[in-house]
């Protein structure tokens, strides 16, 4: 549906406020009133239409399966009654929207509701709304972009209804989850929303600056449905009169807002005042800047100037990475990501394609894991369209896709996915004729990709072109062709360019120099998105210098910060007397790794573990027990030990040998419990005593734990519970585990667990803290 | 501002050496700049009923002896929700992936910060009712006040919409650095039953105290 944003559309006001006025009790389910008090609902809708509303929201805000459980009513029943009530009240005087609010439970990673389950819950409501004859779908009061995406996808995929989407923002211009206006606007527009805006949260005055920003971040009609001012906390009353509300809303309309109504605290009098005040106004002119953009909810990245794409999440040629993929060791991949974040990458390329790895399952898992830990936009890198779609689907924000090429087959497979999820896409300048030889051929392919993308409705600034770096030692003439093409795509086509730079130096000595030189030349020609290894200092040094020369680094501030410390830092490196043991005890991660690498020249991996690592950890452990060291120090030592283990793993992976043989321990926070820091502490410490920790997560059902124990043949299970309310779940888990034919040992811990409780529920041991857990594991499993 | 001693106490590391104290100080400074507690509250008349303390304006019943004792002399009570919000929660998650040792320091700072938020809310409530004397703050889980009041308190304060505070089916709050509390308002000075005799308005004249006891004995 194309909505004319130069025409005003009047929405309704609050439903909840009106129901309370009719006599709804606190704690009563408002949606059930569709069935028990249809006359109330019809009265309210009719009053809004009489006041000027052209769209009314059916009373379905919380009519999802989760909130209706235990009411004895189905979603279809409640939603169809709600739409029926609305239709009966408004006839053909107004349109009826099926309304979807938040599910009332946080999605992963903050909560434990999965994206897929959230989608299912919304899909059911959207379908019921469409079947009942709703004219459009409204998604409102959202604070989490991820939940909003699930709802919007559900509407788009399950119905043909237009979708209006509004989120709630704070006066600081963010939602409660930290989502920015730009991230919200550009992600939702990319996903195909028909109008977007703000509702609830604040009054019209406070929302005005945020509405203005929103108007500049989208081409869609903008919605404003604010509260009747701010509530007095003492009694909950809102502070604006209908006239004041209407007056304040005039400014929003003047700023370009065209779809208007009210939220909490408003009633038909407010809508009437609003209607009378603005009905003859034209929404103000808006300006929108077409810009290349990718984002996470909290990191809105406008691609001005030079931005580095980190290339390290890729198994090609990396044995340790391949091993991590095979072992499902996603923590390792997160570590690789964090290093690149710290080194200055702006976007991370994510490639998990490797023989034997199911990319369609692995890519979304890695995307979820990464977005829980880091805050950089991702570029999903695969030749498998199904894997790309699976990854884009669960990505929270606006991502990029690497890549499509000029081949008909590639464009037909990749571009529809890019369009559907509103992603950016890298267009690789090759096609069925293979690698082009000249800049002109590259440009022709780039134009073909761009034309096709634009014809499908993908904005041109979302298309980035890769002019292909070829190895200069093999095809020396090609470097100049690549650069010429980069220049043309930048200057003439006006698109962003991507280059995998390091390919240039393959097979040559002093590769770094060659790569760095080519990088600088390419930047000079306009390269804006180099794909590099940001951990290579010289590469990032060159980028820092280029940023100064192109005036992106105002007053050379970042450059000075980068290098000013260097002169002073060097002499301190005289810590050569530091032993590996001391480095671990003091929690010096990089020193410990360096010393471990040195030790491996003369000692075996096993000697390293037994001779240095375990004694050092035991020393910190003893200090911890006697109150000389505290938890951060215990964990610091554990993490330094972790870096030593990384060195050992990498060494073994290079030799192609087995990993160090270790006992495996499963660990979980029990069902209903979301407080998992204690479990994570135990995991960190035990891992670094050499136990392989199978982390089952938090809020884990007893059945899931039993299944893992049986399938993985686990001999020791650690369970944690923090609250008295979740102790029964711990007891139940212990009961189920002990009922197994060959029951594992179980240790339990957590704030409310005591030795006595542990015994009573049938656990084998009570772990007071992480250090105690190690002792128990040693006692029960032996070794390590 | 985060009280570093308080944060060390939450960590169980009051005896920390200078190095650890410094680390805590650095994290406390950063956390104090990046995160601020937010709160919301509602005030209601208290009706002392047989089945418990009825807060009619927010339709909430506080059952049990603890609430009865705490609110015995109160005509009004405030219910309060304070949180560091989901962004702190996200930051904690990312810190745990990055550095567990720093994460436990940050966690302790979070606890101190959310308590400081409750203090600020309490001050605001005191200022709104200048003639009233406030009881100590008490929360579900205190004495026999049940934890399963959490959903009702969050509903009565509309905490999900106002603060982004959710309650799980097992009555846990998410974000984890969230606190609900109840504060009674009375016409006469209230004993510091929870904070202890040192804070009590009656400490100089209290007979229990003179006899070597306290009102919580």
Identify the structural domains of chain B with CATH numbers, from first to last: 37-89+109-186 (3.40.109.40)
Neighboring chain A residues of B40 at a CB cutoff of 8 Å? 233
- ipTM at complex level: 0.89
What's the rounded Cα separation, in Å, for the pair A459 and A544? 30
pLDDT at B217 over 80: no
Cα A180 to Cα A10, A176, A205, A214, B103, distances in angstroms: 26, 10, 19, 10, 25
Q: What is the mean pLDDT of residues A191-196?
A: 98
What's the rounded Cα separation, in Å, for the pair B171 and A460? 49
pLDDT per residue over B59-91, tens digit each?
Answer: 999 999 999 999 999 999 999 999 999 999 999
In B, residues 54-73, which contact A (CB 8 Å cutoff)? 57-60
Nearest CA in chain A to B59: A26
What's the rounded Cα separation, in Å, for the pair A426 and A347? 13
Q: What is the mean pLDDT of residues B171-199?
A: 88
pLDDT per residue over A363-415, tens digit each?
Answer: 999 999 999 999 999 999 999 999 999 999 999 999 999 999 999 999 999 99
CB contact under 8 A, A632 and B99: no
pTM, to two decimals? 0.92
What's the rounded Cα separation, in Å, for the pair A574 and A587? 18
Q: Which of A27, A234, A631 sits opposite B128 (nearest CB)?
A: A234
Q: Does B98 touch chain A (CB under 8 A)?
A: yes
CB contact under 8 A, A630 and B59: no
Q: Which of B41, B42, B97 sits opposite A373 (nearest CB)?
A: B97
Neighboring chain A residues of B86 at a CB cutoff of 8 Å? 106, 110, 143-144, 176-178
What's the rounded Cα separation, in Å, for the pair A332 and A642? 11
Q: What is the pLDDT of residue A184?
A: 98
Q: What is the mean pLDDT of residues A74-95?
A: 97
Instruction: Find out whether A504 and A518 touch, Cβ atoms under 8 Å.
Output: yes
Mention the CATH class of domain A9-278.
alpha beta
Q: What is the 3-state secondary structure (H, E, C) of B76-132?
A: EEEEEEEECHHHHHHHHHHHHHHCHHHHHHHHHHHHHHHHHHHHHHHHHHHHHCCCC
Q: What is the pLDDT of residue A574?
A: 45
Average model confidence (pLDDT) for chain A?
93
Q: What is the mean pLDDT of residues A726-741?
A: 94
Mention the CATH class of domain A580-655.
mainly alpha
pLDDT at A576 over 90: no
**Could you tell me where in chain A the CATH 3.20.20.330 domains are found?**
9-278
User: Is residue A354 within a helix (H) or strand (E), and if so which, with residue range?
Assistant: none
pLDDT at A569 over 80: no
Strand partners, A95: A55
Q: What is the pLDDT of residue B1?
A: 78
Neighboring chain B residues of A111 at a CB cutoff of 8 Å? 166, 168, 174
User: Is residue A325 within a helix (H) or strand (E), and if so which, with residue range?
Assistant: helix A319-326
Q: What is the pLDDT of residue A567?
A: 57
* Closest listed residue to residue A722, CA positions, set B168, B40, B105, B138: B168
* Closest listed residue to residue A732, CA positions, set A709, A761, A757, A707: A761
Q: What is the mean pLDDT of residues A584-607?
A: 91
Question: In this structure, are strands B178-186 and B133-134 parallel, antiparallel, or unpaired?
Answer: antiparallel
Question: In this structure, are strands B74-83 and B178-186 parallel, antiparallel, or unpaired?
Answer: antiparallel
Instruction: Find out whether B201 and B192 touch, Cβ atoms under 8 Å.
Output: yes
pLDDT at A572 over 60: no
Distance from CA of B57 to the nearest CA of A (A): 8
In B, residues 145-164, which contact A (CB 8 Å cutoff)? 147-148, 152, 155-156, 160-161, 163-164
Which of B40, B164, B183 to mutate against chain A (most A CBs within 10 Å)?
B164
Residue B23, helix vs strand vs coil: helix
Strand partners, A496: A464
Name residue, tokens 């006359």.
Answer: A39
Residue A622: count other Cβ atoms within 10 Å of its Cβ.
12
Q: Does B12 touch chain A (CB under 8 A)?
A: yes
Which of B35, B84, B97 to mutate against chain A (most A CBs within 10 Å)?
B97
What's the rounded Cα separation, in Å, for the pair A185 and A196? 7
Confidence bin at A571 (pLDDT 50/70/90): very low
Neighboring chain A residues of B148 at a CB cutoff of 8 Å? 725
Buried b (16+ CB within 10 A) or exposed e, A412-438: ebbbebbbbbbbbbbbbbbbeeeebee
In B, residues 21-40, which contact A (CB 8 Å cutoff)? 23, 40
Q: What is the third-level CATH fold of A664-781?
A: Rossmann fold (3.40.50)
What's phi and psi for A596, nearest 5 deg?
-65, -40
Q: What is the pLDDT of residue A676?
A: 87
Residue B127: count other Cβ atoms within 10 Å of its Cβ.
8
Q: What is the 3-state secondary structure (H, E, C) of A460-474?
A: HHHEEEECCCCCCCC
CB contact under 8 A, A110 and B89: yes
Q: Does B92 touch chain A (CB under 8 A)?
A: yes
Confidence bin at B216 (pLDDT 50/70/90): low
* Closest listed residue to residue A722, CA positions, set A777, A772, A672: A672
Options 3.90.1150.10, 3.20.10.10, 3.20.20.20, 3.40.190.10; CATH of A304-564: 3.20.20.20
pLDDT at A138 over 50: yes
Answer with the residue of higher pLDDT: A655 or A188.
A188
Confidence bin at A1 (pLDDT 50/70/90): low
pLDDT at A575 over 60: no
Neighboring chain B residues of A680 at a CB cutoff of 8 Å? 96, 100, 103
* Percent of chain A that is helix, strand, coil (3-state, to 5): 50, 15, 35
Distance from CA of A456 to the nearest CA of B (A): 36
Q: Which pair of structure tokens corresponds to residue B36?
A: 């601020």
Q: What is the pLDDT of residue B196?
A: 76
Q: Which pair of structure tokens corresponds to residue A418?
A: 């890019």
Distance from CA of B208 to the nearest CA of A (A): 32
pLDDT at B207 over 80: no
* Closest listed residue to residue B174, CA positions, set A367, A141, A699: A699
DSSP string computed for A672-726: T----HHHHHHHHHHHTTT-EEEE--SSB-HHHHHHHHHHHT-SEEEEE--SGGG
Confidence bin at A660 (pLDDT 50/70/90): low
* Closest listed residue to residue A257, CA positions, set A142, A139, A163, A164: A164
Q: What is the mean pLDDT of residues A217-246?
A: 95
Q: Which of B11, B160, B174 sits opposite A630 (nearest CB)?
A: B11
**Could you tell me where in chain A the CATH 3.20.20.20 domains are found?**
304-564
What's the rounded Cα separation, in Å, for the pair A194 and A187? 12
Q: What is the pLDDT of residue B81?
A: 97
CB contact under 8 A, B100 and A235: no
pLDDT per residue over A497-543, tens digit each?
Answer: 999 999 999 999 999 999 999 999 999 999 999 999 999 999 999 99
What proportion of chain A, given as a percentage, has pLDDT over 70? 97
Average model confidence (pLDDT) for chain B?
91
pLDDT at A659 over 60: no
Neighboring chain B residues of A28 at a CB cutoff of 8 Å? none
* CA A188 and chain centroid, separation: 15
pLDDT at A604 over 90: no
CB contact under 8 A, A111 and B166: yes
What's the rounded Cα separation, in Å, for the pair A763 and A747? 6
CB contact under 8 A, A673 and B161: no
CB contact under 8 A, B166 and A104: yes
CB contact under 8 A, A681 and B164: no
Q: What is the pLDDT of residue A657?
A: 61
Distance from CA of A677 to the nearest CA of B (A): 8
What's the rounded Cα separation, in Å, for the pair A198 and B160? 17
Enumerate residues 6+ apart whose C-beta is below 8 A from B100: A635, A638, A639, A680, A681, A684
């Amino acid at each position: 549906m194309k909505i004319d944003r130069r025409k005003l559309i009047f929405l309704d006001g609050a439903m909840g406020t009106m129901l309370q006025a009719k006599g709804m009790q606190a704690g009563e389910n408002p949606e059930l009133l569709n069935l028990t008090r249809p006359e109330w609902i019809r009265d309210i809708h009719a009053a809004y239409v009489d006041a000027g509303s052209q769209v009314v929201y059916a009373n379905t805000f919380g009519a999802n399966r989760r909130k209706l459980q235990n009411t004895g009513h189905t979603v279809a029943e409640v939603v169809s009654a709600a739409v029926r009530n609305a239709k009966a009240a408004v006839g053909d005087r107004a349109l009826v929207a099926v309304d979807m609010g938040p599910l009332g439970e946080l999605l992963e990673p903050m909560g434990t509701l999965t994206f897929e389950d959230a989608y299912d819950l919304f899909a059911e409501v959207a379908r019921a709304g469409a079947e009942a004859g709703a004219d459009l779908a409204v998604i409102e009061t959202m604070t989490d972009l991820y939940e909003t995406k699930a709802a919007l996808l559900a509407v788009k995929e399950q119905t043909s209804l237009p979708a209006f989407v509004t989120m709630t923002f704070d006066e600081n211009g963010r939602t409660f989850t930290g989502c920015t206006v730009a991230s919200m606007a550009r992600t939702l527009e990319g996903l195909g929303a028909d109008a977007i805006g703000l509702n609830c949260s604040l009054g019209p005055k406070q929302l005005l600056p945020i509405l203005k920003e929103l108007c500049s971040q989208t081409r869609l009609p903008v919605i404003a449905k604010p509260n009747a001012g701010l509530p007095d906390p003492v009694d909950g009353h809102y502070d604006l009169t209908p006239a004041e509300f209407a007056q304040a809303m005039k400014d929003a309309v003047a700023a370009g807002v065209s779809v208007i109504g009210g939220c909490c605290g408003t009633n038909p009098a407010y809508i009437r005042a609003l209607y009378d005040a603005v009905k003859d106004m034209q929404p103000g002119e808006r300006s929108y800047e077409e810009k290349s953009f990718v984002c996470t909810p909290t990191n809105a990245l406008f691609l001005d100037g030079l931005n580095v794409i980190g290339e390290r999440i890729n198994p090609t040629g990396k044995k340790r990475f391949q091993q991590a993929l095979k072992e499902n060791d996603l923590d390792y991949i997160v570590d690789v990501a964090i290093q690149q974040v710290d080194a200055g990458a702006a976007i991370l390329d994510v490639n998990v394609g490797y023989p034997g790895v199911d990319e369609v399952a692995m890519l979304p898992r890695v995307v979820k894991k990464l977005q829980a830990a880091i805050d950089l936009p991702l570029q999903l890198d695969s030749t498998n369209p199904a894997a790309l779609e699976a990854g884009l689907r669960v990505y929270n924000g606006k991502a990029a896709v690497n890549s499509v090429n000029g081949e008909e087959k590639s464009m037909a497979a990749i571009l529809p996915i890019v369009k559907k999820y509103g992603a950016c896409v890298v267009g690789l300048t090759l096609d069925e004729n293979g690698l082009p030889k000249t800049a002109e051929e590259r440009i022709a392919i780039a134009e073909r990709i761009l034309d096709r993308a634009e014809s499908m409705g993908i904005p041109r600034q979302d298309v980035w072109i890769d002019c292909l770096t070829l190895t200069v030692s093999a095809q020396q003439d090609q470097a100049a062709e690549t650069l010429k093409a980069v220049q043309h795509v930048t200057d003439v086509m006006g698109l962003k360019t991507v280059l995998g730079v390091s390919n240039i130096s393959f097979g040559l000595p002093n590769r770094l120099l060659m790569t760095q030189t080519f990088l600088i030349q390419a930047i000079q020609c306009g390269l804006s998105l180099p794909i590099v290894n940001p951990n290579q200092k010289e590469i990032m040094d060159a980028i820092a210098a280029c940023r100064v020369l192109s005036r992106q680094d105002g007053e050379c501030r970042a450059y000075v910060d980068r290098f000013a410390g260097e002169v002073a830092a060097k002499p301190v490196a005289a810590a050569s007397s530091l032993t590996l043991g001391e480095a671990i005890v003091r929690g010096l991660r990089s020193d410990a790794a360096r010393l471990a690498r040195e030790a491996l020249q003369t000692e075996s991996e096993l000697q390293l573990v037994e001779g240095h690592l375990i004694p050092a950890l035991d020393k910190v452990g003893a200090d911890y027990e006697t109150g000389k060291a505290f938890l951060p120090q215990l964990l610091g030592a554990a993490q330094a030990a972790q870096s030593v283990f990384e060195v050992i793993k990498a060494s073994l992976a290079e030799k192609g040998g087995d990993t160090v043989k270790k006992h495996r321990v499963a660990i979980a926070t029990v069902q209903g419990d979301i407080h998992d820091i204690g479990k994570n502490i135990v995991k960190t410490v035990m891992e670094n005593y050499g136990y392989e920790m199978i982390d089952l997560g938090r809020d884990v059902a007893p059945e899931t734990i039993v299944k893992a124990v049986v399938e993985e043949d686990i001999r020791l299970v650690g369970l944690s519970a923090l609250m008295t309310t979740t102790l029964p779940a711990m007891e139940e888990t212990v009961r189920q585990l002990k009922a197994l034919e060959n029951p594992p040992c179980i240790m339990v811990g957590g704030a409310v667990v005591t030795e006595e409780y542990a015994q009573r529920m049938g656990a084998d041991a009570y772990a007071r803290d992480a250090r105690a857990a190690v002792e128990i594991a040693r006692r029960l499993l032996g070794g390590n | 501002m985060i009280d570093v001693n308080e944060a060390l106490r939450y960590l169980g590391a009051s005896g920390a050496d200078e190095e650890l104290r410094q680390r805590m100080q650095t994290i406390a400074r950063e956390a104090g700049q990046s995160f601020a507690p937010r709160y919301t509250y509602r005030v209601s008349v208290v009706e002392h009923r047989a089945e418990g303390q009825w807060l009619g304006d927010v339709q909430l019943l506080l059952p049990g002896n603890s609430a009865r004792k705490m609110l015995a002399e109160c005509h009004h009570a405030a219910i309060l929700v304070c949180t560091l919000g989901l962004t702190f929660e996200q930051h904690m998650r990312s810190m745990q992936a990055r550095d567990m040792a720093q994460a436990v320091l940050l966690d302790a700072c979070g606890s101190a910060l959310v308590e400081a938020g409750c203090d600020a809310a309490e001050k605001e409530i005191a200022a709104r009712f200048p003639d009233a004397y406030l009881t100590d703050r008490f929360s579900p889980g205190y004495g026999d006040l049940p934890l399963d009041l959490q959903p009702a308190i969050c509903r009565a304060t509309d905490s999900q919409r106002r603060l982004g505070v959710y309650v799980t089916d097992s009555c846990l709050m998410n974000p984890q650095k969230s606190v609900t509390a109840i504060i009674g308002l009375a016409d006469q000075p209230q004993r510091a039953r929870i904070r202890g005799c040192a804070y009590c308005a009656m400490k100089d004249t209290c007979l229990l105290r003179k006899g070597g006891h306290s009102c919580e004995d």
